Amino acid sequence: MTTTTADLLARRAAHVAPSLSIHYQGNPIHVARGAGQYLYGVDGTRYLDCINNVALVGHSHPRVVSAVARQMAQINTNTRFLYEPLVDYAEALTSLLPAPLDVCYFVNSGSEANELALRLARAHTRRRGVLVLDHAYHGNTTSLVDISPYKFNGPGGEGRQSHVQIAPAPDTYRGPHRGTDAAQRYADDVQAALLRGDATGKPVGLFIAEPILGCAGQVEPPPGYLAAAFNHARAAGAVVAADEVQVGFGRVGTHMWGFELHGVTPDIVTMGKPIGNGFPLGAVVTTSEIAASFNNGMEYFNTFGGNPVACAAGLAVLDVLAEERLAEHVVAVSEHLVNGFRHLATKHEVIGDIRGRGLFLGVDLVTNRDSSEPATELATHLVGALREQGLLVSTEGPGHNVLKLKPPLPFTESDADELLEAIDRALVQ
Ligand code: PMP
């Protein structure tokens, strides 16, 4: 029996939690399958997918699919048994990280990874306070909503808790500091927030940040900022964590990890989304020193974390990244796409800023280049117009005016041209 899209929507509304949203409300995409950088609707429509960063090496990549199927047919159990994929994957993952990041924890999502980062930092520093950047999102658990200004200051949020401090997002396009000394001034803001400490005046134990800020509007910190901010945090006795859930695993092209763009080495790295190409998997990698502090007698057990099937998915993703030389591909296609947007910006005043790295880009739409007033309505209109042409993009940022591009990495130059031409046409109208 085939279910119509309208039927399916009604059935979903009846029994699936209403706090879940849906893309293109009123006209959702009823997906049948995905391949590479494309999604296919049940009616056969092909969509160029610029929003699913989870499908890093391409939707339903055959290599990942067969690795998962093979392992599932063989054995799937938990880390209290000994099996190769866990150790193979821990070796493979740590070989991609700089020293002293050499101890892995495996979990099932980005939220579980960040939740564990909170516990590691707390065990190591014996402090509860956390410093985050404004508009950040770090996950869906109670503790993570409390450190996510995007949520606690957003609709339904309950505001900032006293153990949390916020420093401004280091936005050199629209934020308070924009000149050549912006990195220094934003780092000074971090220092000021560190001095405020938690509610009791105790210094914070953890500074966590994304190397390129997603929810703040694809904001790329200015050179030198993260190094100075990390120095301040460490000098105050905190540990520093890079949330690589969005930008890790080669998405930035030139590097495997976003933090490498800034020449820093965090104490904790958290990973999720693309790590298993859609198979639920997350990871935390830290130093043996922090791992030793956490090894205090209380076992860390996670029923599904590190299961052989998830590890097989993770291993297959790393193999595909290397074999298909996706990092080099990302650098080339990104340059082509960014140049295309720069050209569009010469024709369309509404394009105020083009930023990001690799295939993690933001195109900031403004009503006026002098005031950089967010062109929210136009951005919403553009997302709808592009969808009608089979191109999936979304918006990001506090003003919901930044076109967010984070397609599966196989995205090609001809896909980029298709997208650029459609945006050109839509902006002319
Ligand atoms: N950190 C960042 C930066 C994220 O973008 C997200 C998810 N959007 C998370 C953590 C949480 O990951 P998950 O949804 O897998 O729990």
First to last CA, the chain: 42
Q: Which atom of ligand 1 is nearest to the CA of 111?
A: 16
CA atoms of 149 and 128, how far apart (whole Å): 17
Band (pLDDT 50/70/90 cuts) for residue 223 is very high
User: 282-287 and 351-357: which strand pairing?
Assistant: unpaired
What is the rounded distance in angstroms from the CA atom of residue 54 to the CA atom of residue 56? 5
**Does the beta carbon of 137 sit less than 6 angstroms from any atom of ligand 1?**
yes
Looking at residue 278, its pLDDT comes to: 98
Q: Looking at residue 199, what is its pLDDT? A: 73
In the predicted model, what is the mean pLDDT of residues 157-179? 96
Q: Give the Cα separation of 416 and 223 in Å (integer).
A: 27
* 163 Cβ below 6 A of ligand 1: no
Per-residue confidence at 2, pLDDT binned at 50, 70, 90?
A: low
The span from the CA of 239 to the CA of 130, in Å, is: 10
Tell me the mean pLDDT in the region 329-349: 98
E-assigned strand segments in 17-143: 31-35, 38-41, 46-49, 101-107, 130-133
If pLDDT is split at 50, 70 and 90, which confidence band does 220 have?
Answer: very high
Cite the DSSP H helix spans in 221-362: 225-235, 288-294, 308-323, 326-347
Ligand 1 atom nearest 139 alpha carbon = 11
* Ligand 1 site-directed mutation target among 245, 251, 281, 396, most atoms within 8 Å of CB: 245
- Mean pLDDT across 289-314: 98
Is the per-residue pLDDT at 185 higher than 60? yes
DSSP class of residue 420 equals H
Average pLDDT over every residue of 317-334: 98
The pLDDT of 164-179, averaged and rounded, is 97
Q: Determine the Cα–Cα distance for residues 22 and 45; give it in Å rounded to an integer.
A: 18
Ligand 1 pocket, 109 CB below 6 A?
Answer: yes
Q: Ligand 1, atom 2: nearest CA belongs to which residue?
A: 138
Q: Which tens digit of pLDDT belongs to each residue from 229-249?
A: 999 999 999 999 999 999 999
Q: Report cis status (omega within 30 of 0) of the bond before 221.
A: no
CA distances, 396 to each of 6, 41, 216, 296, 302 (Å): 28, 24, 7, 41, 33
Tokens of 408: 């599966």
Q: What is the C-alpha separation between 136 and 14, in angstroms, rounded? A: 32
Tell me which DSSP letter residue 346 carries.
H
Residue 64 is predicted with a pLDDT of 98
What is the C-alpha separation between 283 and 244, in angstroms, rounded? Answer: 10
Amino acid at 345: A
Nearest to 169, CA basis, from 210, 203, 129 = 210
Q: Is the pLDDT of residue 1 over 50?
A: no
193 contact partners, CB below 8 Å, separation of at least 6: 131, 165, 166, 167
Cα–Cα nearest to 266, from 299, 303, 236, 238:
238
What average pLDDT does the segment 264-283 reach?
98
The answer for residues whose C-beta is within 8 angstroms of residue 128's C-beta and 6 or more apart is 122, 163, 198, 202, 205
Q: What percent of the chain has pLDDT above 90?
A: 96
In this predicted structure, the answer to whether residue 296 has a pLDDT above a threshold of 70 is yes
**Across the strands, what pairs with 282?**
107
Q: Encode pLDDT of 350-367 as tens digits.
A: 999 999 999 999 999 999
Q: For residue 391, is pLDDT > 50?
A: yes
Q: What are the two backbone dihedrals, phi and then psi, of residue 104, each rounded to the nearest 5 degrees?
A: -110, 145
Average pLDDT in the 69-93 region? Answer: 98
The three-class DSSP label of residue 386 is helix
139: Cβ below 6 Å to ligand 1?
yes
3-state DSSP assignment of residue 107: strand
**pLDDT over 90 at 303, yes or no:** yes
**CB of 109 closer than 8 Å to CB of 291:** no
> What is the distance between the alpha carbons of residues 276 and 272, in angstroms, rounded to a whole number?
8
Q: Yes or no: say if 253 and 211 are a contact pair by the CB < 8 Å rule.
A: no
The DSSP call for residue 77 is: -
Pairing of strands 46-49, 268-271: unpaired
pLDDT for 202: 85
Compute the distance from residue 347 Cα to the ligand 1 centre, in Å.
Answer: 35
Chain segment 134-145, per-residue pLDDT in tens = 999 999 999 999
Is the shortest distance between the CB of 138 and ligand 1 below 6 Å? yes
* pLDDT in the model for residue 200: 79
Q: Is the CB of 214 under 6 A from ligand 1?
A: yes
* Residue whose pair of structure tokens reads 């020449």 in the numeric block: 263
pLDDT tier, 180 (very low <50, low <70, confident <90, very high otherwise): very high
